[in-house]
Structure 1
Amino acid sequence: MKYRHVVIIVFLVLLVDQVLKFWIKTNMTLTQEYTIFADWFHIHFIENEGMAYGLQFGGGFGKMFLTLFRLVAVIVGFIYIKRLIRDGYHKGLIICGSLILAGAAGNLIDSLFYGMIFSESTAASVAQFMPEGGGYAGFLHGNVVDMLYFPLYKGFLPTWVPIWGGEYFIFFRPVFNIADAAISIGVITILLFQKRFLIRRIPANHNTVETNSVVDDQHQVM
């Protein structure tokens, strides 16, 4: 597998991720929702200041730290994947690593720039791209845009279920984005196929032998 294939995978994931986020920001108000299929696939616009799937991390300082961490992770990720290719690891590992890298880069773009290039999204107004008065936050402090919502099950749990029995339950509750999905797919696939993926394939040694060299009696010069 070539390094350019990694670049193509990352680019395609970023393209889909950012185009969808841009459309959401400029066409939907915060918490607005569209039903895509039946009652289990929705586009539901929210923003989060933290990690994937809406998890939070330590306020303003934590937000800046997380953004810088993502930036370092993306840079190191490109270098590491290049090394994996050089060392002949399974292409499945390279593809999964590319998905994880693309997902990290997708959310990184939100954190780095969205606060500067968009006005604030609210429940009453759609965000404006490049507003005259500036964006809603500074560099490193943009919110990550989430929109994919799959409530596959809604209902009351049986009373015999410990702790939560009889309570209303939604599965799957988190709202996420394409970047989060790419990270999850990459990580889960590596975990499932780690015995196959984490084996280094050492290229065969094709050193030539001079015609006047001495060889062992058990080997012949081809």
Structure 2
Amino acid sequence: MNLKKSIVLIVVILFIDQISKIYIKTHFQLHEEIEVFSWFRILFVENEGMAWGAKIPGQYGKLFLTLFRLVAIVGIGYWLWDSARKHASGILLGAIALIFAGAMGNIIDSVFYGIIFDSSMQQTATMFAEEPYGTLFHGKVVDMLSFPLFEGYLPSWLPYWGGKHFTFFDPVFNIADTAISFGVGLLIFFNKKAFPTKDKVETQIS
């Protein structure tokens, strides 16, 4: 993996991510779902904030989050360029490329979707709508992948949670989130290969 291949990977992920989001926005109403398998559903939701639907409170919370993401993507981009310049391992470059692509995919939603689409509430959204649902930097991130691997009621003998409805895995996410998760996973599980010691680096270069 080198810088050119990393850029190709980023472009491919961004293309798949945005095509899937645009399709969902223009073909699904908000909260509409299709069951593909018992453990996999296409469920259209919109995320106004961070992961797991968390939000930054206040009038400018959403704007602050979007601006923070823009600053972060610049840092990730520099990390990728600097790692390539230093001939870092292919695993590290691939992981950074995945994280960059995922972050950029969600940034596009946050920055532009508010001025491109109209509301998805009780209707399928129109692209390049005359009356968009938001403003620049105030778009909502589109999520659609749901994997309820187990859904049912917990045993009544369990303290506090007994008898309550439970879903595993509950979060709804998108291609961009998946890319970020894979990138972080590579850094965690292949940490030694991603960040080799100085002696190994010198051996690889020589």
TM-score by length of 1: 0.86
Match of 1:139, SS state, is coil
SS in structure 2 at match of 1:147: strand
Matched position secondary structure for 2:170: coil
Q: Which runs of 5+ in 1 are unaligned?
A: 206-222
Structure 2 regions of 5+ residues with no counterpart?
Answer: none
Cα distance between partner residues in 2 of 1:80 and 1:164: 44
User: Which position in structure 2 is the counterpart of 1:50?
Assistant: 49
Greater mean deviation of Cα atoms: 172-181 or 47-56: 47-56
Q: Which residue of 1 aligns with 2:137?
A: 140
- Report the alpha carbon displacement of residue 22 of structure 1 after superposing the two structures with TM: 0.2
Moved over 4 A (4+): none
Q: If each structure's helix is expressed as a fraction of its own residues, which one has the higher value?
A: 2
Looking at structure 2, the residues matched to 99 and 21 of structure 1 have their Cα atoms a distance apart, in angstroms, of: 18
Q: Match of 1:178, as an amino acid?
A: I
Which residue does 2:30 correspond to in 1? 30
* Cα shift readout 1:96-133 (whole Å, capped 9, x = no counterpart): 111111000000000000000100110x2111111223
Distance in 1 (CA, whole Å) between partners of 2:61 and 2:77 is: 24
One-letter amino acid of the structure 2 residue matched with residue 12 of structure 1: V
Looking at structure 2, the residues matched to 144 and 115 of structure 1 have their Cα atoms a distance apart, in angstroms, of: 10
Query: 1:59 and 1:48, CA in 2 relative to 1: closer, same or farther beyond 3 A?
Result: farther
Instruction: Give 2:184's aligned residue.
Output: 187
Aligned residue in 2 for 1:67? 66
Aligned residues: 202
**Following superposition of structure 1 onto structure 2, how do residues 1-222 of structure 1 map, counting pairs within 5 Å?**
1-37=1-37, 39-122=38-121, 124-133=122-131, 135-199=132-196, 201-202=201-202, 204=205
Write the deviation string for residues 49-103 of structure 1: whole angstroms up to 9, x where unpaired.
1013323222441211111111111122111111111222221111111111100
More off after superposition, 156-165 vs 177-186 = 156-165
On the 8 A contact 1:153/1:170 being kept in 2, the answer is: yes
Q: TM-score, normalised by structure 2?
A: 0.92
Query: 1:117–1:129: 8 Å Cα contact kept in structure 2?
Result: yes
The structure number with the bigger radius of gyration is: 1
Report the AA paired with residue 125 of structure 1.
Q
> Residues 60 and 176 (structure 1 numbering): CA distance in 2 closer, same or farther, change over 3 Å?
farther
- 1:141–1:24 Cα change, 3 Å: same
Q: Which amino acid aligns with 1:41?
A: F
| Secondary structure of 2:101's aligned partner | helix
